[in-house]
Chains A and B, each alone.
Chain A
């Protein structure tokens, strides 16, 4: 149990996917103008990451990795060069599936999160998480927890930037620094604050 809590703390605070690995910056910068939309995107990312991380883990473990096809008597085949294309298709398919299920069973949630779901397919943090969990050799439970933790880290980062940017409206920023330039500097400061967590472990 403690091991899993450690993975969550690690992926949320110490190795935050956005602030330390810079993944998912595109949507991070464009969506963080309003607090409500950033909460919506954050929740959608948590949701999709918790599903795609274990799915991609299973595909890698039983289809792609070296010796993974031994259950079919094809142990000598190594398909790991197909990782990128398979992972991105799984993510795209999963996002589509989630979108349809949500539309069918929870229209209210669909109205709120629906517009963010297509954006998520090309969000680097989703593909990045899948690639990281292969690189770090996580098992099924660890990858699920890691996926959830990364999503939570993204949520935390995007909501904090959105709230800070809301305050910035009242301040007098030089005209060419407005918008993205200022957002980058603010992200730098938030990221610096997160560095303070480094070294924590249970």
Chain B
């Protein structure tokens, strides 16, 4: 958590934000990323002594892309509605900087079992931010948590309204900015300017 890939290194938020309007899509995305990241780390770690240095990026890319295709097909087979919701963003796990970054920085140097743990840890760290952003966006945007209405009807009658901005894209930027701020204040890291 101290080295959280999103809030410290700001990697891989490309595909992350668009699917965080509700918690359930964020959870499915997290599971997909953890699966792809840990399996790709293990595969690349097994191959690490046989990969020529010059073509390593393209080999890592093909391993990752194949795993993403499998994840996509599994989702289409078992959770068709969810795969429609995630749409192109599931495919964008390929270009997620975390997956390639961990393969390059960790799996190329370490044994498969360590790489598996590293993949799971990073995937879960990434997922925790996704779910946190989704939690706030769903709470303020729809008044619900994981699909269950939590803000009572009386409050709406009293003049409370859902905040439409949270569902739109600026809401995600603001919440992620604030989470990064809180996390960095807690861990005491900061950039130059």
Mark interface residues in B63-94 (1 if CB within 8 Å of A CB, else 0).
00110110011000000000000011001101
Decide yes or no whether B159 CB sits under 8 A from chain A: no
Contact A135 B87 (CB under 8 A): yes
Contacts of A138 in B (CB 8 A): none
Decide yes or no whether B100 CB sits under 8 A from chain A: yes
Mark interface residues in A45-63 (1 if CB within 8 Å of B CB, else 0).
0000000000000000000
Decide yes or no whether B53 CB sits under 8 A from chain A: no
- Residue of chain A at shortest CB distance from B91: A84
Give the contacting residue for A131; candidates B16, B92, B181, B189; CB below 8 A.
B92
* Count: A-B pairs, CB below 8 Å: 134
Q: How far is the CA of A24 from the CA of B95 in the complex (A)?
A: 9
Contact A180 B96 (CB under 8 A): no
- Residue of chain B at shortest CB distance from A96: B58
Contacts of A195 in B (CB 8 A): 168-170
Smallest beta-carbon distance A33→chain B, Å: 8
Count, chain B residues at interface, CB 8 A: 48
Decide yes or no whether B61 CB sits under 8 A from chain A: yes
Q: Which of A5-13, A122-130, A144-152 contacts B (4 or more CB under 8 A)?
A: A122-130
Q: Which of A14-22, A35-43, A99-107, A109-117 contacts B (4 or more CB under 8 A)?
A: A14-22
14 contacts between A and B (CB under 8 A): A23-B14, A25-B13, A81-B69, A82-B69, A84-B94, A88-B65, A124-B15, A127-B91, A177-B184, A178-B191, A178-B193, A179-B192, A189-B170, A191-B170
Sample of 15 more A-B contacts, CB < 8 Å, known A82-B69, A85-B62, A176-B181: A19-B169, A23-B14, A26-B10, A81-B69, A81-B73, A85-B65, A89-B62, A92-B58, A92-B61, A122-B95, A127-B92, A127-B94, A131-B88, A183-B177, A187-B173
